[in-house]
Amino acid sequence: MNYIEDDIKLAYIIAIGIMMVFVIFIIFIVFMYNKRQLLHLKENQLKESEHQNQLLQKELEKQKLIEKERERISHDMHDDLGAGISALKLQAEFLKQRAEDEDLKSDIDELLKTSEEMNLSMREMLWSLNSGNDTLGSFIDYAQSYAQNFLKKTTIVLHIENESVIAQTTITTEQRRNLFLCLKEALNNAYKHSRSDRLILSFIQHEKEFLMKISDNGIGIDSQKPEGNGLRNMKRRMHEQNGHCEITTENGAHLFFRIEL
């Protein structure tokens, strides 16, 4: 009887041993499978990383070529177009000195005015093309200078505010260009329609967000009237830069232009 019980115990122990070996084998198989899957995943990640690095390198090379082409265009415009405008102005001034007819002098004055406007437009384009100006400091300096020159012959007094701006912060060429065009449009609207005598131009930076605010103390914008092309263009430009344009009319007109840096 004891022999039978011993045989049963032995068989039971053997069965348990076999089950344990089987379980260990299953665990080993699962472990090896997971290890192979992890190695495969790491290989894929490495390949993807190499691919992304190659794409980034190509993009950097492309950007360098674009910047080089911009500089070439900028130099050509400065040397050729700038020289041509200067020669035109000199010739017009020489003709004005020799002219005796007042109508002719008036026409020459218009020609001089047009050439000066062309010269200003060319300088704006040169500034816009130069990638060396792609910082907040450069943008703010140019924007302040433009606003001061634009309003100096008007009755509007300009005040400039600068809050927490880090001058070296990078801004893209497109962001810089579109912000400047919005500034031009806003100043022109204030001069033509606001009837204001005071305008505040503010530049504010909150970490990766940049805000340009233009406020006047004029009659504001009539919300009952449909938006003009100028307002629509400003909103479109900000939308294209993944930014935001907001306009309020309490105690004057207040325009907010916000972008992510």
Higher local confidence (pLDDT), 179 or 29? 179
Q: Using 50, 70 and 90 to split pLDDT, how confident is the model at 195?
A: very high
Q: Considering Cα of 227, then 229, then 231, then 235, what sign does the dihedral take?
A: positive
pLDDT at 15 over 90: no
Higher local confidence (pLDDT), 159 or 59? 159
Highest mean pLDDT among 123-137, 152-166, 217-231: 152-166
Residue 122 and residue 81 in contact, taking contact as beta carbons nearer than 8 Å: yes
- In tens, the pLDDT along 95-136 reads 778 777 888 788 888 888 887 878 788 788 888 878 888 999
Q: Using 50, 70 and 90 to split pLDDT, how confident is the model at 156?
A: very high
CA distance readout (Å), 49 to 1, 53, 55, 63, 245 = 71, 6, 10, 21, 37
The pTM (predicted TM-score) of the whole model is 0.66
pLDDT recorded at residue 53 = 83
Residue 134, judged by CB atoms within 10 A of its CB (0-12, 13-18, 19+), counts as middle
Number of other CB atoms surrounding residue 128 within 10 Å: 18
pLDDT at 198 over 70: yes
pLDDT recorded at residue 6 = 64
CATH-assigned architecture of domain 134-261:
2-Layer Sandwich (3.30)
